[in-house]
Structure formats: C-alpha cells, structure tokens
C-alpha cells in the first residue's frame, strides 16, 4: 500500500473553551512522492498543521494517520532559523541528529552523513563550522540533518524566509527532488510564490479547511485527494 497521510474529519481549536477554531472537518489524503506547499495568512494554522502531523498536538475531532507504513510514523522537520549547533561542523550537526535518534530508540540504520551533505551540494563544506556558511548553505545542512534519520515525511516551516531568491530556488528544487526521486512526502509551509511554483500541489488554508489546488509546476495527479 503506498504511503499516504490521511486526514479524517480533523478539527482543532485553541483556547480554554476552544473558541479559536483553526481547522474544521478536514478530510484529505496526501501522497508520498509529492511536494505540497502549504499557504495561508499568518496565524491561519500552518505551524499548527505541522504540530498536528508530528503528534505534538492532538486533534479535537477526527484522526491523522500515516497509512501504508506498517509501523511508527517517522517525521522530520526543517525550520526557518536552521536550529543548528553553530560551533559544530556541518557533518557533526548531521551526525548529532542520528545520535539523538539512536538514544531515543530510532531506526537502527541511518544514511551516511557526508553523503547526504554531498547530495545537497555541500561536500566541500562538510568539515566547516556552520557559523561560517551562508544562510542558504546552513539551510541545506538543516535539510541534511532532517534526512539523517530516514524520515517518511519531511516538514519545512518557512524554510526560505531568511535567504535570498537564488538560495530560495535552490532549496525549493532540493525539496522537489526529495519528493520525486526519493519518494518522500514533503510539505513546505510558505508565503513565497517562488517556493509554491516548485510544488505539485498547493494546500491553501481557507475557511478552516485545506483546499488543494495545482501549482504552476504541475497537476494534482497523485496529490491531495478530497
């Protein structure tokens, strides 16, 4: 069974009396091998969506399941502010994620850290302290770190918010490759139409729901199904 992230009538609200509704009766299926751009105004629920997917938050109603895995949900995240250890090298940052995963009982076999950096165009920077790298390079280190624990789902929350357009295009292209070539399910929360242009499907947050629409890069074939 192909991997899918399945939302079954999901609802979520904030507040002691749950008066601030974020999602209401969301029902969709997101397929592996696709890049999804999650778009909506600030405060509309992009970060909340990711917290629901990781299990940090529980839906008030409905369920979110990763179907077709036959085991635990493996989700990694990439952040706007990188969240790297600045005095460690790029490869040490990637290996650190693997050490934490091993200590926490994660998967037993991990991708080679240096090879991940090489694939992301950073072979020559593997031993450099991340504090010496450009913003775009640091974000690619952060992507390698997220991939280091062999995730099934990759979430990126405004990953290009602190880099220039050239780096934005490079990062977005890498996300598309990870979806199309590696078969990952990749969701990128963004305000940037440049990033959305690389997606297969745009998930627009509207009226407490996720509304799927094709991006300028491709059609919805194999993407969000409602």
Question: What pLDDT does 18 receive?
Answer: 74
Structural domains of the chain, with CATH: 33-57+71-214 (3.40.50.300)
Question: What pLDDT does 62 receive?
Answer: 98
- In whole angstroms, what is the distance from residue 167 CA to residue 18 CA? 40
How would residue 29 be classed by pLDDT, with cut points 50, 70 and 90?
A: very high
Tens-digit pLDDT profile for residues 54-91:
999 999 999 999 987 666 678 999 999 999 999 999 99
174 neighbors 143 (Cβ within 8 angstroms): yes
- In whole angstroms, what is the distance from residue 20 CA to residue 170 CA? 37
Question: What pLDDT does 199 receive?
Answer: 98
Rg of the chain over Cα atoms, rounded to whole angstroms, equals: 17
Question: What pLDDT does 72 receive?
Answer: 66
The overall pTM is greater than 0.85: yes
User: Cβ contacts of residue 73 below 8 Å, gap of 6+?
Assistant: 55, 66, 152, 153
If one compares 191 and 222, the residue with the highest pLDDT of the two is 191
How would residue 3 be classed by pLDDT, with cut points 50, 70 and 90?
A: very high
Region 174-193 average pLDDT: 98
Question: What pLDDT does 226 receive?
Answer: 47
């Amino acid at each position: 069974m192909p991997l899918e992230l399945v939302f079954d009538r999901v609802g979520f609200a904030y507040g002691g009396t749950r008066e601030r509704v974020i999602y209401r009766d969301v029902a969709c299926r997101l397929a592996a091998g696709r890049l999804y751009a999650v778009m909506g105004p600030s405060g509309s629920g992009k970060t909340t969506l990711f917290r629901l997917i990781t299990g940090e938050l529980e839906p008030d109603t409905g369920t979110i399941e990763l179907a077709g895995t036959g085991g635990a949900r493996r989700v990694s995240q990439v952040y706007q502010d990188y969240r790297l250890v600045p005095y460690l090298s790029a490869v040490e940052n990637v290996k650190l994620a693997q050490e934490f995963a091993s200590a926490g009982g994660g998967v037993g076999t991990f991708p080679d850290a240096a090879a991940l950096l090489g694939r992301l165009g950073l072979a020559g920077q593997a031993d450099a302290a991340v504090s010496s790298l450009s913003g775009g390079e640091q974000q690619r280190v952060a992507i390698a770190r997220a991939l280091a624990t062999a995730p099934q789902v990759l979430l990126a929350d405004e990953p290009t918010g602190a880099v220039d357009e050239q780096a934005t295009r490079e990062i977005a292209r890498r996300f598309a490759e990870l979806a199309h070539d590696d078969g990952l399910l990749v969701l990128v929360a963004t305000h940037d139409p440049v990033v959305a242009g690389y997606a297969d499907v745009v998930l627009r947050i509207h009226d407490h729901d996720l509304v799927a629409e094709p991006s300028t890069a491709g059609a919805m074939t194999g993407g969000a199904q409602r």
